[in-house]
Amino acid sequence: MIVSRLHTRTSRARNRRSGRRPILARMLLVALAAVLLAAAAPALTWAAPGDQVDGDAAVAARAFKPVAFEDIQYVSKTTAFAAGTPGSLSISTDGGRSWRLRPMGTNNWITALHFRSSKAGWALGIVQEGTPGRIFYTQDGGRHWALQTNPSYCDVFTDVDFATRQVGVIVGRYGTILRTVNGGWTWTQVAAPLSGPHLGAVDFATRTVGYAVGVNGRILKTTDGGATWRVLTGAGTRDLRDVCFVSARRGWVVGASGTIRRTTNGGATWKKQASGTKKALAGVDFVDGLRGWAVGASGTILRTTNGGATWKKQKSGTRGFLHAVDFVTRTKGCAVGEKAMPLGSTPYAVGVIRFTSSGGKLWKKAF
């Protein structure tokens, strides 16, 4: 997989940190803010469904059959989005049981997505190594997309999350951190504590407190909404692929060789948890302080009901690599990834979406 070859992880942007957040402004204030932002915002060119938006060779007005799903996010109990590669967004309106493709007008490798609502969302794309990565924005649920300016030279973005409706962060290769303070209209590069180590995931626990993880056990923390970051230690040296916090102090990280670590003091210390596997773990999601899931290589799905004190394997029904997982309730969720096809096959892989309505007791094919 291209992202693995570039020494990054693919990520998720989960609904628990976005779509479920209460709306902080009244309708009148929201409308006023929208008018002010529109007046100050740079002009964006919106592409019709299927039209070319990224400047690459002409893209047919169709959705590419995904060879991989890199990310999954619920925005409500019924609506969910999955990032498909190359250049496809998939949407479910029945809680994840079935999915339909929606073309993005690009053949970029889509690594992550984040929807602030059922309409407004972002997707991150890879063109090729050495070419600046792309930031796509939609305001109508993925029917139309526009390119936003990447102010950095980063060629691989891996994750995006928002602390508030206005403040958000993108992370990526070479320790790159981008930040917006105007609802995603423009992005600026933030100085990272240590440049070089690739960052693979970011998660905001509160309006101000957030965490980012990456290679060699790298963990960064912000307490001012992503304006500044500091390095945390004590999480070992394994590559970390994903991070999930349920409060400012309690969270989990997962990564290479079955690594799972938990903190209950805001990252001051990290306790190793026994995952029971040596398979790489790429995604983690908790619905509360006790119930969570981790997914990874060879169709691995793990579940805990006691905060990670113990993890139990679940039967996913696939041997594919699962990149991300998101649960919208204690019982309903999806895991996404890819399944390699026999050598010489076209395509070389197919996207995988597994759905459960039983907390993982039974996982079914949804795509």
Q: Which domains does the chain have, with CATH numbers?
A: 2-42+51-365 (2.130.10.10)
Q: Given this model, what pLDDT does residue 53 score?
A: 57
Q: Which two tokens stand for residue 10?
A: 């693919």
Q: Given this model, what pLDDT does residue 348 score?
A: 78
Residue owning tokens 């206005």: 166
Q: Rounded CA gap, 172 and 8, in Å?
A: 8
Helix (H) or strand (E) holding 5: helix 2-5
Q: Could you tell me if residue 184 is left (phi over 0), alpha (psi between -120 and 50 degrees) or otherwise beta?
A: left
Phi, psi for residue 127 in degrees, rounded to 5: -90, -65
Residue 34 CA, distance from chain mean position:
26
Which of the residues in the chain have pLDDT under 50?
1-43, 46-52, 55-62
> What three-state secondary structure class fits 35?
helix
Residue owning tokens 């053949």: 107
Phi, psi for residue 172 in degrees, rounded to 5: -170, -155
Q: How many residues does the chain have?
A: 367
> What three-state secondary structure class fits 346?
coil
CA distances from 266 to 239, 248, 272, 331 (A): 20, 6, 15, 27
> What three-state secondary structure class fits 110?
strand
Q: Rounded CA gap, 330 and 355, in Å?
A: 13
> What three-state secondary structure class fits 218?
coil
Cis peptide bond N-terminal to 347, omega within 30: yes
Q: Which two tokens stand for residue 82?
A: 């999955």
Q: Of 192, 212, 215, whose CA–CA distance to 203 is shortest?
A: 212
Q: Rounded CA gap, 167 and 360, in Å?
A: 34
Quick check: 108 and 156 in contact, CB under 8 A? no
Q: Given this model, what pLDDT does residue 64 score?
A: 60
Q: Given this model, what pLDDT does residue 14 score?
A: 43
Q: Rounded CA gap, 44 and 18, in Å?
A: 24
